[in-house]
Amino acid sequence: MHCKGFSIIGGGVMGLSIAYQLLKQQQQVTIFHTPKSTTASLAAGGMLGAQNEFHAPSPLYPIALESRALHPVIAQELYDLTQLQIDWLPTSLIKVATSQQAVPQLKNQFHFLASQDATSIDWLDGQQTRQLEPFLHDEIAASVHIHQDYQVNARKLMTALWQAVKQLGATIIEDEVLAFEHHQKKITHVHTTTTRYAIEHVVVATGAFTTALLSSLALRCPMHAVKGECVMVKSDKPLKHTIFTTDGYYLVPKCHQQILIGATSYPFQQDDIVTVSGVQRLLSKAMAIMPALKDAHILDSWCGVRPQTMDGLPIMGASPYINLSLCTGHYRNGILLSAITGQLFSQYLLGDKTAKQRLEPFQFARFSS
């Protein structure tokens, strides 16, 4: 079989966002996808933490801000096309120091963020923090209110993207890609569990599963999986903001009184088991932030694997094979970065020089120099 145009391996938020943007440009797109229980995009908290996640200058920082601003536009586009909501909610984020010891670390981040844009954040003491969120623990010593770090519902975003790419005419092949065939430095075919497909250009967007796939090309991809677990609860004590601690735990208020509690972090683990100790840690962290959650109802728990690279930056661009591009390694921020990645990466694939330039800091080649 012959796949015309662009073949994308991986139907996570990256593969689908790229496919969506290419299809809008009337390109032919085939998506190879096999469901995996640890798909990161289905496990995510949905935070658009463009400022929250940065503590120091990074080439990713301006891109993250741009992506955050693009999300409501994509949400509207997806709604117009599919009639599906992705719950883009303007629930701003409060980053809290849960003890006095955590205050210096928070202050450092505040100084960095203020040096970039002082108008978009506020420093609050404990009392001011509880004025915004009355159910927070008395021991919360200080916080940074980040006005525009809003959120979406990651699973709804995925459902809407799948629907959109289907409506725009993508060919979906529900099968796992196991290997590539190549002639010199050009990929000629991909092999799935059942079939051999001739391809023109292939994009690998397989998240934390990329290392295994690329090993069939003897390409060493310096990435590893970081497993994370979450719990969903329902609480009649309301929360209006996302609350995020300096050690990476969070409460994200969702629709219908639900609060998403996240997330554990286990480097080099990629199993799909939600452990008792993981849930215990999440619940005790959650109650240390908001004691009233002791009466909340547990609704669900799950886990996923984040794709992390050796230097913490994603890999977006060319590979040593002339018709194979890579888009992976978005670690903790793939939902946030999906909007801009879909745009920039599709422009890059269509030969846009500015997009190529903007993706320069994220080249795979940086690991071989």
For ligand GLY, the binding residues (CB under 6 A) are: 45, 47, 228, 262-263, 306, 332
Q: Rule CB under 6 A: is residue 262 a binding residue for ligand FAD?
A: yes
Identity of the residue, 46 or 126, whose beta carbon is nearer to ligand FAD in the bound complex: 46
Report residue 122 as tokens.
């506020």
User: Contacting ligand FAD (CB under 6 A), which of 29, 30, 46, 129?
Assistant: 46
Q: Which residue is nearest to ligand FAD (CB)?
A: 12
- Which of ligand GLY, ligand FAD, none lies near 32, with the C-beta cut-off 5 to 8 A by kind? ligand FAD
Q: Report residue 187: phi and psi, to 5°.
A: -75, 130
- Which of ligand GLY, ligand FAD, none lies near 14, with the C-beta cut-off 5 to 8 A by kind? ligand FAD
Of 189, 217, 191, the closest CA to residue 2 belongs to 189
The nearest distance, CB 353 to ligand FAD, in angstroms, is 25
The nearest distance, CB 332 to ligand GLY, in angstroms, is 4
# of chain residues touching ligand FAD (CB under 6 A): 43
Q: Is the separation of the CB atoms in 28 and 6 below 8 Å?
A: yes
Identity of the residue, 40 or 217, whose beta carbon is nearer to ligand GLY in the bound complex: 40
Question: Which amino acid is located at 262 in the chain?
Answer: G
Q: Rounded to 5 degrees, what angle do the CA atoms 52, 309, 245 make?
A: 25
| CA separation for the pair 249, 261 (Å, rounded) | 8
The nearest distance, CB 115 to ligand GLY, in angstroms, is 23
Q: Rule CB under 6 A: is residue 206 a binding residue for ligand FAD?
A: yes
The nearest distance, CB 161 to ligand FAD, in angstroms, is 10
Helices 334-349, 154-167: inter-axial angle, 10-degree rounding:
30
The nearest distance, CB 189 to ligand GLY, in angstroms, is 35
- Which of ligand GLY, ligand FAD, none lies near 207, with the C-beta cut-off 5 to 8 A by kind? ligand FAD
Q: Is the separation of the CB atoms in 18 and 327 below 8 Å?
A: yes
What's the number of CA atoms in the CB half-sphere (13 Å) around residue 123? 12
DSSP string of 286-319, one letter each residue: HHHH-GGGGGPEEEEEEEEEEEEETTSS-EEEE-
User: Contacting ligand FAD (CB under 6 A), which of 60, 78, 223, 230?
Assistant: 230
Q: Rule CB under 6 A: is residue 213 a binding residue for ligand FAD?
A: yes
The nearest distance, CB 221 to ligand GLY, in angstroms, is 20
Q: Is the separation of the CB atoms in 275 and 229 below 8 Å?
A: yes
User: Contacting ligand FAD (CB under 6 A), which of 6, 21, 33, 68?
Assistant: 33
| CA separation for the pair 291, 118 (Å, rounded) | 32
Helices (H), the chain: 13-24, 60-82, 103-116, 126-132, 154-167, 210-214, 276-289, 334-349, 353-358
Q: Helix, strand, coil % (nearest 5) of the chain?
A: 40, 30, 35
Query: Which chain residues interact with ligand FAD by CB under 6 A?
Result: 9-15, 32-36, 39-41, 43-47, 176-177, 205-209, 213, 228, 230, 262-263, 304, 306-307, 328, 330-336
